[in-house]
Amino acid sequence: MIAHKPLKRKHDFHKITYFLRQNTVLIVAFIAALVSSLIVPPDEKYLSYLDFRTLTCLFCTLAVICGLRNIKFFTVVARKLVSLSGSTRKTVIALLMITFIGSMLIANDMALITFLPLGYIALSETGNSKYLCYTFIMQNIAANLGGMVTPFGNPQNLFLYNKFNIPTGEFTLIMLPPFLLSIALILLSVFVFVKNEKLTLNCEDDTKLPVKRTVAYLLLFAFSLLIVFRIVPFVIGLILIPAAMIILDRKALKDVDYGLLFTFVFFFIFAGNMARIDAISNILSTLMEKNALVFSSLSCQIISNVPSAILLSEFTDNYRELLMGVNIGGTGTLIASLASLITFRQYQSVDPKGIKKYFITFSLINFSFLGILMIFCSLI
């Protein structure tokens, strides 16, 4: 028994380090909430910090998406689209557009989790691994920028959409110009950096979708969108969708990213407490008043876009510039978006020796996008 203790301790240590790596932002959010609660002791106002509509919308959408992913709905659709391309350039464009559109519908992090493996298969099995680093980075950009045009495309969008009760039409009009520019920049980048070489995609897949469950999930997804758009009360969704998922796929409920949900809870607490500290409130209010777009974009580079949206929303009513700032601010540093960490971990697993190249290429491309989008959004 004693001889096995060092092995058990080593195993426990690896489990702890793995948890820390996978939940870095969650832990940071928890520490931030804990420290701020020492300054502003818990009281009855804490409950008002929590945006239950946003949390419910996020939970319901993620649950249905996990169900669709478990029946390989997105993989089947993506493989079909990629198989229609006949060149390296068209394949890369297909991968980026799938990720881009996917982020509009299933959120940026879920789009990356779903479509990054497809990018690896498509390129590695056709002898085009030389484009793997570039494609992963561009899929990351496509996910971050593609999700900006819908209220549920990025987590920070869902929060701000509910926080300020932004009309859906106005939300779309605000984000449409940078959205269209992002499409143009992504396509231009592909035409510059990817050669138009012929290829054959040798990744056959005979997966067939279960018709009844597929229809049920799509109906539930449509229902979750009705909740997001405030057509159906979120309380009804909180009852019906989990009940339906218990019948259809209990594993989907287990697969929901609860870490993301608790990250929101902790940042709600942190932001609420910061708003009650006069010195910090005055500083942030002044900075947001001077230039909400630039400051929110730069804030994302340090504390990521989701916490930036939650924190800075307490210090401005200028949701137009804040909304644009925390979306384009998802490009830039590796921690500017939670989704970027997902891409980095995925690439590290398939090419651990190429991390230096990945980091340099990632920084050059992302900061180029950030600079162009900041200038553009400042002018419109």
Q: What is the pLDDT of residue 15?
A: 67
Q: What is the pLDDT of residue 352?
A: 82
φ, ψ at 151 (rounded to 5°): -60, -25
pLDDT (tens place) for every residue of the chain, 380 residues total: 455 566 566 666 666 776 666 677 788 889 989 999 999 999 988 988 888 887 888 788 888 888 988 998 877 776 776 677 778 898 899 899 989 988 887 778 778 877 887 888 778 877 788 999 999 999 999 999 998 988 888 888 988 998 999 999 999 999 999 999 999 999 999 999 998 887 665 555 667 889 999 999 999 988 987 887 778 898 999 999 999 999 999 999 998 888 878 887 888 888 788 878 888 878 888 989 999 999 999 989 987 888 889 889 988 999 999 999 999 999 998 878 877 877 887 788 788 888 899 999 999 999 999 999 999 999 98
Query: Which residue in the block uniquely carries the two structure tokens 């929110």?
Result: 296
Q: Rounded to 5 degrees, what angle do the CA atoms 76, 142, 192 make? A: 105
pTM, 2 dp: 0.75
**Are 327 and 154 spatial neighbours (Cβ–Cβ below 8 Å)?**
yes
Q: What is the pLDDT of residue 216?
A: 94
Nearest-angstrom CA–CA distance, 100 and 68: 18
Give the ranges where 196-336 is alpha helix by DSSP (H): 211-228, 234-248, 250-255, 258-275, 278-303, 305-312, 319-328
Going by C-alpha positions, the residue among 91, 185, 110, 172 that lies closest to residue 141 is: 185
DSSP 231: S
Q: Which two tokens stand for residue 120?
A: 């690896």
Q: At 336, which amino acid appears?
A: A
